[in-house]
Amino acid sequence: MEETRVLLRNKDVANMVDVAVSMEHGGYVGLRNALLMDGAQVIETLRDSGLRGRGGAGFPTWMKIKFAYDAGGTSKVVVCNADEGEPGTSKDRILLSTDPHSIFEGMAIVGKAIGAGRGFIYLRAEYSYLFPILENALDSARKSGILGKNILGSDFSFDIEMRSGAGAYVCGEETALFESIEGKRGEPRTRPPYPGTYGLFGLPTVLNNVETLANIGPIFANGVDWFRSIGSENSPGTKLFTVTGNVHRRGVFEFPMGTNLKDIIYEVCGGIAGGKELLAVQTGGASGAIIRPSQIDIPLDIDHVASSGGRLGCGTIFVIDDSNCVLDIVKNTLEFFTNESCGKCIPCREGGVQLLKLIKKISEGRGSVIDIDTMMDLSNTMRETALCGLGHSTPVPVLTSIANFRDSYDRHLDKDPCSKCSPERGLK
């Protein structure tokens, strides 16, 4: 199965940091077109393209931009969320390191749409080795008049600043990211107000994921019809899928939205490594649904996966073989979420801790049926009352694993923990 390389078209080109090389390979053609439009036209184009956010929420990109466009005030901001922290995801790292100009181009076009003069790229600390690449690319763009005052001779001025994260997954959440840039703890804000009216520094802000931004230049270079010809009706375009876990071939692959999950696992990634069998798949990262092998024959686009009870999210596909235990995986995700919880709201701060205690109790063979009911109850409460996506997502692996792998839970309830969960007592 051959990839459809749009965003990764320049992956193997040397020296893409140099703006001249980027332009030789189509860089900034989209921006040139966008500079001839007014804000409303840019937004209309994005609306017609059907581009939806690639960071996880799948929100229509044009709508986010329209909120900021409609907001009052003359000082507006564009932010690139390069805090890629969802476990199992490396697509944004690939884009940032192999085609940084595509990101700047997307940001500039969004800036043009809302009349923003400033952009910020919030880069996670774990990718600090990418800072030199990005700073060099920014310098290169400025020297060629692509960033700074009067871009390419137009009356639009726009420049981009780098900002660093410091190891907090929650700062991938929009408003927590703003708090972090503002020199505070990365705690999400209550909404409303939404970032479109009150965002970074209290200004109307559009925040987009790296991959979302990378799509914008090509849309303005090649047109709406071209973009809509790829992917599916509800999710046009391509998607970068990061495949990890117990497969032969791991990595980031670009395919049209709607490509079948089973095909990606078996045809692209060579199926399960080491002579084992498939146990489970988790799509969307640590916050994704854990599904059975019988459930993997689905098209990977935003609406299809959502209607099957899961979440495409950032396009992470985590493959788990049968040398593992689903409860052990759930425990791992709960350890992750409790460590990363910012602590601001009780549902997440306490709920996560209690879920972790319960999964440990059950997996070590000390649990009862009531504990499973409690986990479901807690999970549903968290989903409805947590302040941000972290708290809403923590219960997803819990609820889906209980629904899809009840036999695993029951086995551990029968005082028969597996060797993965209880090495000393394991009977597996």
Partner 1 sequence: MHQSQYSFTTSPSALVQVAEIASRYKGRQDKLMDVIIAVQKIVPSLAEDVAAVIAREMGLSQNHVYSFVTFYEYLSVQPRGKYMIRMCSSAPCHVRGAKDVMDTITEMLGIKIGETTPDNRFTVETCPCLGICDISPAIMINDKVYGDLDPERARELIKKYIREDI
β-strand 205-209 against 77-82: which pairing, if any?
A: parallel
Stretch that binds partner 1, among 69-77, 148-156, 316-324, 375-383 (CB under 8 A): 316-324
Contact status, residue 300 vs residue 328, Cβ threshold 8 Å: no
Cβ(214)–Cβ(107) below 8 Å: no
Enumerate residues 256-315 that contact partner 1 by CB under 8 A.
282, 286
Decide: is 320 part of the binding site for partner 1 (CB under 8 A): yes
Residue selected from 16, 68, 168, 302 as contacting partner 1 according to rule CB under 8 A: 168
Helix axes 369-385, 406-413, angle to 10 degrees: 130
Q: 184 to 203, contacts with partner 1 by CB under 8 A? A: 184-186, 201
CB 165 within 8 A of CB 180: yes
- Residue 251 Cβ vs partner 1, minimum distance, rounded to whole Å: 4
Which of 167, 104, 168 minimizes the C-alpha distance to 133? 104
The nearer residue to partner 1, 51 or 334, going by C-beta atoms, is 334
Contact of 259 with 299, CB cutoff 8 Å: yes
Q: Which of 1, 13, 20, 166 binds partner 1 (CB under 8 A)?
A: 166
Residues with Cβ within 8 Å of 226's Cβ and at least 6 positions away in sequence, in order, are none
In sequence order, what E strands does 124-165 have?
Answer: 159-164
Q: How far is the CB of 369 from partner 1 (least distance, A)?
A: 26
200-219 positions binding partner 1, by CB under 8 A: 201
CB-side neighbour CA atoms (13 Å) of 238? 23
Distance CA 23, CA 156 (A): 20
In the complex, least distance from residue 314 CB atom to partner 1, rounded to whole angstroms:
11
Smallest gap from residue 135 Cβ to partner 1 (A): 13
Q: Is 244 in the site for partner 1 (CB under 8 A)?
A: yes
Candidates 324, 354, 381, 419; binder of partner 1 (CB under 8 A) is: 324
Part of the chain binding partner 1 (CB under 8 A), chosen from 158-166, 215-223, 346-354, 400-408: 158-166
Among 13, 20, 125, 346, binds partner 1 (CB under 8 A): 125
Q: What is the distance between the alpha carbons of residues 161 and 169, in angstroms, rounded to a whole number?
A: 21
- For the CB of residue 386, give the shortest distance to partner 1 in the complex, in Å: 19
73 binds partner 1 (CB under 8 A): no
Whole-angstrom Cα distance, residue 62 to residue 41? Answer: 11
- Calculate the CA 378 to chain-centre distance: 25
Cβ atoms of residues 22 and 105 within 8 Å: no
Q: Is residue 252 involved in binding partner 1 (CB under 8 A)?
A: yes
Among positions 336, 365, 391, 404, the unique one binding partner 1 when judged by CB under 8 A: 336
Q: Is 340 in the site for partner 1 (CB under 8 A)?
A: yes
Q: Contacting partner 1 (CB under 8 A), which of 24, 70, 182, 277?
A: 182
Q: What angle do CA 134, 136, 141 make, to 5 degrees?
A: 95
As to burial, measured by CB atoms within 10 angstroms (0-12 exposed, 13-18 middle, 19+ buried), residue 266 is middle
* Euclidean distance between CA atoms 75 and 218, whole angstroms: 27
Which uninterrupted H or E stretch holds 338?
helix 326-340
Give yes or no for a contact between 212 and 105, defined as CB atoms under 8 angstroms apart: no
In this complex, which beta carbon is closest to partner 1, that of residue 88 or of residue 299?
Answer: 88
351 forms part of the interface with partner 1 (CB under 8 A): no
Stretch that binds partner 1, among 69-77, 81-89, 102-110, 369-377 (CB under 8 A): 81-89
Asked if 321 interacts with partner 1 (CB under 8 A), we say yes
Per-residue binding string, partner 1, 3-32, x by CB under 8 A, is ------------------------------
If the CB atoms of residues 60 and 426 are measured against partner 1, the closer one turns out to be 426
Is 135 a binding residue for partner 1 by CB under 8 A? The answer is no
Min dist CB 320 to partner 1, Å, is: 6
Both tokens of 71, joined, read: 């907001």
Identify each DSSP E strand in 2-139 by its residue range. Answer: 77-82, 118-123
The footprint of partner 1 (CB under 8 A) covers 84-90, 92-93, 124-129, 163-169, 180-186, 201, 242, 244-246, 250-252, 282, 286, 318, 320-321, 324, 329, 332-333, 335-336, 339-340, 342
